Amino acid sequence: MSLIPIRPGSSPGSGAERSDAARNRELLLCAARQLVEECGADGVTMDKLAERAGVGKGTVFRRFGSRAGLMMTLLSDAEAEFQGRFMFGPPPLGPGAPPLERLIAFGAERIRYVLEYGELARAAEASLHNRFEAPPAVLWHRHIEHLLRSAGFDADPWLMAMSLSATLDPDRLLHAVRVQHVSQERLEESWRQLVTRVAGGTVAP
Amino acid sequence: MSLIPIRPGSSPGSGAERSDAARNRELLLCAARQLVEECGADGVTMDKLAERAGVGKGTVFRRFGSRAGLMMTLLSDAEAEFQGRFMFGPPPLGPGAPPLERLIAFGAERIRYVLEYGELARAAEASLHNRFEAPPAVLWHRHIEHLLRSAGFDADPWLMAMSLSATLDPDRLLHAVRVQHVSQERLEESWRQLVTRVAGGTVAP
């Protein structure tokens, strides 16, 4: 089978270059994710990334354009990864666990995600013209609604899913942790209490 | 008993003028509240207010400085009135009713308030440096927390009160009603379901 050139005039040589570029890009993103894990998204700079990946700062700027460009790439990758896990991944977040267990796991993962991406998650939401109808927000809302229905909740699950989503607003979670010194564990436990009571289960002590 | 002049040099004559001014101000506010009730805060203009109160436009501007000034006065009056009712007013919103009934009434009143003040309630919140620690927000939070405790809820009532407050965010309520065409009754019923389940009561059919 012969390859169909993507653009007229592209040669096998430029194809190899493209796959080199893809590998380099993945390497840079990998280094960036390490940095996010170590110091939070707010602490990632183009300088630190260049240093960690062992490349020049120019290379980093050529790949992502700006720090904002890097952050949007990281966030959209993280979002896609998170979506993949709650829709297709292993239980309890993914299919296979009882709906209430999945709901509990969803909130816990969402809290971790917001705390990891910090200002970035907040800024991404604030920059949207309509944060309630951004594709990821719509998907989370539908997911919560679906789990509520599966758990037998029938008192307007669509609207209840909206209220439950509200309790996971990045702005509010970050304020609780950074300003009010609420621990991640406390947030996760409160979410568990909330959804267990709403979905009609028995709250374990 | 003789009156103590508020400022040196103020005479009984200027005292009478002040009380005239106070009466005129109250009259203008009364007209403004009528307009808010009829067409929502977003529909209130300085022209309409002058016409309704039967005064010149100049008088309206002298009293409130600008439309924003008028709106802040109305909002702070409405806020004070709302606070008075949930803290000292008649049941079920005020003291005397069981805590769950008070919680249900609180949300319903809050939803009505946000829908009545519309963009203004949203703008007032957005303009705050820290919307979670504005005095009214702190007061609502404490009130919900107190009612949760009184209803026997002991799984971190402070944090649960924060989550319940989140579901009443003006931004979110206005989006639901104006863009998603959710009725006020549906919002109130969903709040009733939410707090009844959280506070451990039996949800009436």
Whether A105 contacts A140, CB under 8 Å: no
> 10 Å Cβ neighbour count for A67?
15
Residues B147 and B182 both lie in one domain: yes
pLDDT of residue A14: 52
180-199 in B: which are within 8 Å (CB) of A?
A: 182, 186-187, 189-191, 193-194, 197-198
CATH number reported for the structural domain that contains residue B58 in this entry: 1.10.10.60
Residues A202 and A132 both lie in one domain: yes
Residues B53 and B78 both lie in one domain: no
How far apart CA A56 and CA A44 sit, in angstroms, is 16
Q: Identify which of A178, A154, A55, A1 has the alpha carbon closest to the alpha carbon of residue B190.
A: A154
Query: Is residue B170 a part of any domain in this protein?
Result: yes
How far apart CA B1 and CA B58 sit, in angstroms, is 37
Query: Is residue B106 a part of any domain in this protein?
Result: yes
Tens-binned pLDDT, residue by residue, of chain A (205 aa): 333 333 333 344 455 657 777 888 888 888 988 888 887 777 888 999 999 999 999 999 998 888 878 888 888 888 888 899 999 999 999 999 999 999 999 999 999 988 888 777 776 666 555 667 677 788 889 999 999 999 999 999 999 999 999 999 888 899 999 999 999 999 999 999 999 999 976 555 4
Three-class SS state of B97 = strand
Cα separation values, A167 from A142, A194, B153, Å: 16, 10, 18
B111 contact A CB<8A? no
Query: Is residue B5 a part of any domain in this protein?
Result: no
pLDDT of residue B185: 97
Percent of chain B clearing pLDDT 70 (strictly above): 83
Residues B80 and B174 both lie in one domain: yes
Mean pLDDT of the B137-155 span:
93
Residues A158 and A131 both lie in one domain: yes
End-to-end CA distance of chain A: 62
Query: Is residue B86 a part of any domain in this protein?
Result: yes
Which residue in chain B has the smallest CA separation from A198?
Answer: B197
CB contact under 8 A, B167 and A172: no
pLDDT of residue A127: 56
**Distance, CA of B124 to chain centre:** 11
Residues A46 and A110 both lie in one domain: no
- At B59-90, the pLDDT tens digits run 999 988 888 788 888 888 888 888 999 999 99
Residues B104 and B50 both lie in one domain: no
Sign of CA dihedral B117, B121, B29, B89: positive
Query: Is residue B76 a part of any domain in this protein?
Result: yes
A169 contact B CB<8A? yes
A156 contact residues in B (CB cutoff 8 A): 186, 189-190, 193
Query: Is residue B203 a part of any domain in this protein?
Result: no
Mean pLDDT, all residues of chain B: 84
pLDDT of residue A74: 84
User: Is B101 a residue whose pLDDT tops 80?
Assistant: yes
How far apart CA A10 and CA A20 sit, in angstroms, is 15
Question: Between these two residues, B114 and B106, which has the higher pLDDT value?
Answer: B106
Mutate to test the interface with B, among A165, A190, A198 (most CBs of B within 10 A): A190
Residues A19 and A46 both lie in one domain: yes
Query: Chain B closest CA to A48's CA: distance in Å?
Result: 31
A132 contact B CB<8A? yes
Q: Domain of residue B127: give its range.
A: 70-198
Mean pLDDT of the B106-114 span:
94
Instruction: Say how many domains are in chain B.
Output: 2
- At B8-55, the pLDDT tens digits run 333 444 556 677 788 888 888 889 888 888 877 778 889 999 999 999
Residues B102 and B56 both lie in one domain: no
**Listed residues B26, B45, B65: the one ending a domain:** B65
pLDDT of residue A126: 60
Residues B102 and B182 both lie in one domain: yes
b/e per residue B11-38 (b: at least 16 CB within 10 A): eeeeeeeeeeeeeeeeebbebbbebbee
Whether A93 contacts A85, CB under 8 Å: yes
Whether A63 contacts A28, CB under 8 Å: yes
B200 contact A CB<8A? yes
CB contact under 8 A, B198 and A194: yes
- Give the tokens for residue B78: 């409405």
Query: Is residue B111 a part of any domain in this protein?
Result: yes
End-to-end CA distance of chain B: 61
- At A112-136, the pLDDT tens digits run 988 888 777 776 666 555 667 677 7
With a CB cutoff of 8 Å and minimum separation 6, the contacts of A61 are A46
CB contact under 8 A, B169 and A169: yes
pLDDT of residue B39: 79
Sign of CA dihedral A105, A180, B156, B197: negative
**Listed residues A25, A47, A65: the one ending a domain:** A65
A198 contact residues in B (CB cutoff 8 A): 193-194, 197-198
A200 contact residues in B (CB cutoff 8 A): 197
Cα separation values, B115 from B140, B170, B178, Å: 17, 8, 10
Residues A57 and A93 both lie in one domain: no
How far apart CA B195 and CA B203 sit, in angstroms, is 9
The model's confidence at residue B7, banded by pLDDT at 50, 70 and 90, is very low
State whether ipTM is beyond 0.85: no
Query: Is residue A108 a part of any domain in this protein?
Result: yes
pLDDT of residue B16: 62
Backbone angles phi, psi at B95, to 5 degrees: -60, 150
pLDDT of residue A165: 95
Residues A49 and A129 both lie in one domain: no
Length of chain B: 205
